[in-house]
Structure 1
Amino acid sequence: MPHLLEVSGLSAAYGLVPALHRVDFHADRGEVVGILGHNGMGKTTLMRAIMGYVKVTGGEIRFEDTSVLGQPVNARARAGIGLVPQGRQIFPNLSVEENLQVGIPGKAAVVAQTVEEMLELFPRLKRLLDRRGGALSGGEQQLLALARCLCRRPKLMLLDEPTEGIQPSIIDEISETLAALTQKVDITIVLVEQNLEFIAGLSKRVYAISNGVLEKEIPRAELTDSRSVSAFMGFTA
């Protein structure tokens, strides 16, 4: 059976500046794949290249065994790829409810049902429905960004630095929510992070990325061993 997502030999650039160098990895249905790296190592570029925001200069991206190279962002979204970007990028002047409603295809009844389902997955948002997105805390905005992405029912969700700038209590809530989500919803997640504990707690497989090169897979058993991780990344556990 083909992988849900298969990235092979992927190179990308910003103008004339190379950013990714022959990246290879895959994600299968229902699994969480982690990509661990410092800031500026290519994590965000990889997510944006898969989604279609960054110029690909070589290689292939296949989703459900079909090439998505050359497809615009909206076509990839319709195919079932969703991105929760770094910085969340919610609509600050819209309410939480309006943020959720934006982009849900279908009639009013479908929109209402989808919003209700998201509130079941993210109960913290129930009491915030009338609050403007810009008035939420960073953690609440991240929960809203996750829920907004899921409103389109993606088969693949790309998460870019979901713990950035968020207090520890909300990080724990996000981790628990994502772990529960993979049990309730048929979804594959590619998670890029530099928070070792967060990525190790969720991911079935974890790759290290450095200077635009996906170095190698870090065995799950070694993610809690600071010496092993340091050998890959220079991180400490």
Structure 2
Amino acid sequence: MSLRDVSNLKAAYGMVPALHQVDFNVQPGEVVGILGHDGMGKTTLLRAITGFVKVTGGEMLFDGQSLRGLLVNARARAGLGLVPQGRMIFPTLAVRENLESGIAGGKEPMEPIVEEMLALFQRLTRLLDRAGGALSGGEQQLLALTRCLCRRPKLMLLDEPTEGIQPSNIDEISDTLKQLTKTSDITIVQVEQDLDFITGLSDRVYAISGGVLDRQIPKEQLTESRAVSEFTGVAA
């Protein structure tokens, strides 16, 4: 069994089923990508893993421990980190305050952690006193990533990390995450529709459709133009 394992997972919004069968696993230091059309369950899957959506069946094991029944905060303390779609930064707080909010309640001093994480995304250093809402979309995404990393997660979940940002920012995010996985055993699960990004960063890629995820996609298929339509719903 892998260190992080999801088997036959089912989830629902109230009485409405959203995930019907999800099976995948990831090893420490590995990046797994998940592709799918809009509305197929990508975001729901990440929210189920982190505890924001009710799980109605199946199992999620993390470091050998079941996540079923654990509250959101307990899962975060266990080492799960989420970078949500839309970034969800605090627009009226300064960049530094946003980063510190990701560490609040921890046992380590804030300043050394902030400085360590700023070394990954150095562009934020000159923006520390600027309000989060005054940043560009790409800068906000860098802030959301850095804030998540401030908690030193073992498993980081990324929900559409390239959405609405410029290619130069996408390259910076990809290069930094590649570097991070080489220098630590952090595990990443990302849902994404940018084929170049997901194939360049992921070790393995799965497809989700209709709340069912049980099919791994050979990465060589993702270089074919027909894959754009088949796996993302965007015409090639």
- After TM superposition, the score normalised by the length of structure 1 is 0.94
> Are the aligned partners of 1:208 and 1:233 in contact in 2 as well (CA < 8 Å)?
no
What SS class does the counterpart of residue 223 from structure 2 fall into?
Answer: coil
State the distance in 2 between where 1:227 and 1:87 align: 28
What SS class does the counterpart of residue 88 from structure 1 fall into?
Answer: coil
| TM superposition shift of 1:214 | 1.1
> Measured at CA, do residues 195 and 232 of structure 1 come closer, stay the same or move farther in structure 2, by a change above 3 Å?
closer
Q: Which ranges in structure 2 are unaligned for 5 or more consecutive residues?
A: none
State the distance in 1 between where 2:140 and 2:162 align: 11
| TM superposition shift of 1:166 | 1.0
CA deviations 1:97-149 (Å, max 9, x no partner) are 11111142135xx2110010011011010110000001011110110010000
Q: What is residue 164 of structure 2 aligned with on the other side?
A: 165
Q: What is residue 22 of structure 2 aligned with on the other side?
A: 23
Aligned ranges 1:1-237 → 2 under 5 Å:
2-104=1-103, 105-106=106-107, 110-227=109-226, 230=229
| TM superposition shift of 1:231 | 5.1
State the distance in 1 between where 2:51 and 2:75 align: 8
| TM superposition shift of 1:179 | 1.1
State the distance in 2 between where 1:80 and 1:234 align: 33
What SS class does the counterpart of residue 29 from structure 2 fall into?
Answer: coil
Which AA in structure 2 matches 1:86?
A: Q
| TM superposition shift of 1:176 | 1.2
Which AA in structure 1 matches 2:107?
A: G
Structure 1 ranges of 4+ moved more than 6 A: none
Which deviates more from structure 2 when the two are superposed, residues 217-226 or residues 131-140? 217-226
What SS class does the counterpart of residue 69 from structure 1 fall into?
Answer: coil
The number of aligned residues is 234
The root-mean-square deviation of aligned C-alpha atoms, in Å, is: 1.5
CA deviations 1:78-108 (Å, max 9, x no partner) are 000111111110111110011111142135x
Which AA in structure 2 matches 1:76?
A: R
| TM superposition shift of 1:158 | 0.4
Q: Which ranges in structure 1 are unaligned for 5 or more consecutive residues?
A: none
What SS class does the counterpart of residue 223 from structure 1 fall into?
Answer: helix
> Measured at CA, do residues 231 and 147 of structure 1 come closer, stay the same or move farther in structure 2, by a change above 3 Å?
closer
| TM superposition shift of 1:233 | 5.5
State the distance in 2 between where 1:164 and 1:235 align: 14
